[in-house]
Amino acid sequence: MSHTPDRAALYINGDWRKPSTARTFTAVSSATGERIADFPEADRADVDTAVAAARGALGGPGGWASAQQRAEAMERLAAALESRAQALGTLIAHEVGTPLARAIDANVGAAAGLLRFYAPLADTMYAEDLRPARVGHSLVRREPVGVVAMIVPWNYPLSTLFFKLAPALAMGCTAVVKPSPATGLDSFLVADAVHEAGFPPGVINFLPAEREVGEYLVTHPGVDKVAFTGSTAAGRRIGALCGGLLRPVTLELGGKSAAILLEDAPLPLFLDHLLDLSFNNNGQTCTNNTRLLVPRSRHEEVVDAVTETVAGWQTGDPLDPDTVIGPVAGTAARDRVEGYIRRGREEGARITTGGGRPAGLDHGCYVEPTVFADVDPAMVVAREEIFGPVVTISAHDGTVEDAVAQANDSAYGLAGSVWTADEALGREVARAVDTGTFSVNHANFDIGAPFGGRRDSGLGSELGREGIEAYLQYKTIFVPSHP
């Protein structure tokens, strides 16, 4: 990555501006441990400048441009991102460890897809709705919520951003984006694309910063709405800050989702989906089904099959097309995952494959994909989000009731799946599991349907047509008669 240039300016108010401090972050490759490039760290003064720019760009009650102009700008941004797909994917592969093809598809492809999904809604969603009232009429308006602070994580730095940015732009909002320092470098390439797409100054601003500056952004008096994706602990803090301010907030947080295998589960089909279902992005995906709940009668069969499948995956350089599992995103992430593996051993769970660092990969932040069997549902490894390539296998008594009870025995409620030859029964199980999204006999994700968690997994929904609601506010105007 020696060809990646250092960056010296922040993208604020439609231009590259000198930051208020000389502090910088250093992007490091999770694959090699080597420096990629330096980029500036934003401070409070930069937040003040960016929020002021975003407020100035809001325009009138309908947003910063006409619906058609917003849609056209979003289409241009989608194309500008796609023209940078290889560069963005390569950088994210180094930053996060995501295998290259997946890094491109799950980030650049998702971002472009989201922009193109929401762009038509800018023009087709009605702005005013005239309703007959007891006396006269009510004119109900949808107006943009205003300036949105967007705080995004490192695991999918583009897709999680555009979960928020695409509907917000469509509805006429403006944005101040705080990317994670771990993946802040790729935000500069996104800012290049924003500039190329010709957005008005101030509509989108980028501020890589530490948590303290993020809190300042969250509580800034010029911010109207906060949208956050990240850990449950950070989400609680942001939720508390927004609650004190009576500020709208969307929180997409962690997960510890369960894959339920029933007695008639089609095991070959389950194994075909196992990578996307439970180990997606080297385990660094909040929706991963990392608790495998299997019938006691089939426990050893499933353990053997899962172990053989996972042991056969190649772990290595994320730029190698044969790599299935890449490194995790940095030494802190590796240390956390290894700490959970040690805890699982101490608790008495049985490692059937993995559990260490891959042989021959002395550089970078690699962890072997790991399977724990004989896991009691009360163990820490079965209850806390590990966020790495680790799954646990626990037994249920073979009944739907026990399987659903174990799946629901969690502080989280983000995703899940059921595997059965009886699809109608699978849908009944899906209705019974208390979670925001659920799959029957496959691993899937749909930008056209709402996505959100329950309990410790978050507050509010993103995606789908419903995703625009977070970026709107309503106004009712009483009028005596039809205009």
Rounded to 10°, the helix 67-82/110-124 angle is: 170
Q: 175: part of which helix (H) or strand (E)?
A: strand 174-178
Is 252 catalytic? The answer is yes
Structural contact between residues 349 and 392, judged by C-beta atoms closer than 8 angstroms? yes
Q: Each residue of 49-70: b (16+ CB within 10 Å) or e?
A: bbbbbbbbbbeeebbbbebeeb
CA 339 vs CA 21, 190, 310, 336, 367: distances in Å: 36, 34, 20, 5, 11
**Residues paired with residue 350 on neighbouring β-strands, in sequence order:** 373
CA 195 vs CA 84, 185, 204, 237, 314: distances in Å: 13, 16, 9, 33, 39
Picking from 350, 337, 413, the residue whose alpha carbon sits closest to that of residue 376 is: 350
| DSSP character at residue 482 | -
- β-pairing, 412-413 vs 454-455, is antiparallel
Tell me how far the alpha carbon of residue 38 is from its chain's centroid.
Answer: 24
41, 143, 252, 385: the catalytic one is: 252
In the block, which residue shows the tokens 């008096």?
221
Tell me how far the alpha carbon of residue 281 is from its chain's centroid.
Answer: 12
DSSP string for 347-395: HTPEEEE--SPPTT--SS-----EEEES--TTSGGGTS---SSEEEEEE
Residue 421's Cβ-side half-sphere holds a number of Cα atoms within 13 Å equal to: 6
Phi-psi sector, 51: left (phi>0), alpha (psi -120 to 50), beta: alpha
What are the counts of helices (DSSP H) followed by strands (DSSP E) for the chain?
14, 22
CB-based burial of residue 378 (10 Å sphere; 0-12 exposed, 13-18 middle, 19+ buried)?
A: exposed
DSSP string for 244-261: HHT--EEEE----EEEEE
Picking from 453, 378, 382, 383, the residue whose alpha carbon sits closest to that of residue 413 is: 453
Active-site annotation, residues: 252
